[in-house]
């Protein structure tokens, strides 16, 4: 989707939404000239959100080719005591920010859930330093698996595929 106000305070009522077709083509009607912020995300909603800022010219048509980055991080989540995979564990990815916070639009954030074998994959990632959190409480709702959480940091270069970023979770306790 696109926010036509660019760097100004964004109002969700101003957003314009579009989906690309099978060939990758998209069209967003009625985007006014000036600064705009484009947000890209895969339709299934899992993965990462990418933000691109651009100046929209005062023309009838404007072409902006957007490309999802090619980096990925993958691994497994297992029960630390039993050594068995844990399915349906929620993982979040966030920029490893030094003394600052990220914007609400989800730039450079990602999310994934483990499959029946405890495997996960976070894709379409830009180069950078990230913090990945597995298990524990989730942003909306609660964790029903009964495990604590584990946090790892990693650095991703352009087009890297980091495999083996694994987590071993301990059963959680009551506080």
Helix/strand/coil (H/E/C) assignment for every residue in 75-115: EEEEECCCCCECCCCEEEEEECCCCCCCCCCCCCCEEEECC
Given a cut of 60, whether residue 150 has pLDDT beyond it is: yes
**Confidence band, pLDDT 50/70/90 cuts, at residue 104:** very low
Query: What is the arithmetic mean of pLDDT over 98-106?
Result: 50
3-class secondary-structure state, position 122: strand
- Which residue from 49, 54, 39 is spatially nearest to 6, judged by alpha carbons? 54
CA separation (Å) from 93 to 115, 127, 131, 165?
A: 17, 13, 6, 12
Are the beta carbons of 39 and 53 closer than 8 angstroms? no
- pLDDT score recorded for residue 42: 67
3-class secondary-structure state, position 64: coil
- pLDDT score recorded for residue 82: 94
């Amino acid at each position: 989707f696109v926010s036509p106000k660019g760097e100004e305070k964004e109002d969700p009522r101003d957003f314009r939404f579009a989906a690309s077709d099978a060939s990758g083509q998209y069209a967003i009607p009625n985007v006014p000239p000036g600064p705009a912020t484009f947000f890209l995300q895969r339709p299934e909603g899992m993965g990462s959100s990418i933000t691109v800022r651009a100046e929209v010219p005062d023309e009838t048509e404007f072409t902006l080719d957007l490309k999802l980055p090619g980096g990925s991080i993958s691994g497994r989540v297992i029960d630390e005591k039993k050594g068995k995979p844990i399915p349906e564990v929620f993982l979040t990815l966030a920029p490893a920010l030094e003394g600052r916070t990220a914007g609400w639009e989800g730039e450079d954030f990602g999310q994934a859930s483990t499959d029946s074998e405890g495997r996960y994959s976070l894709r379409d990632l830009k180069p950078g330093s990230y913090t990945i959190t597995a298990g524990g409480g989730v942003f909306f709702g609660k964790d029903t698996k009964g495990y604590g959480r584990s946090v790892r940091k990693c650095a991703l270069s352009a087009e890297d595929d980091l495999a083996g970023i694994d987590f071993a979770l301990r059963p959680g306790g009551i506080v």
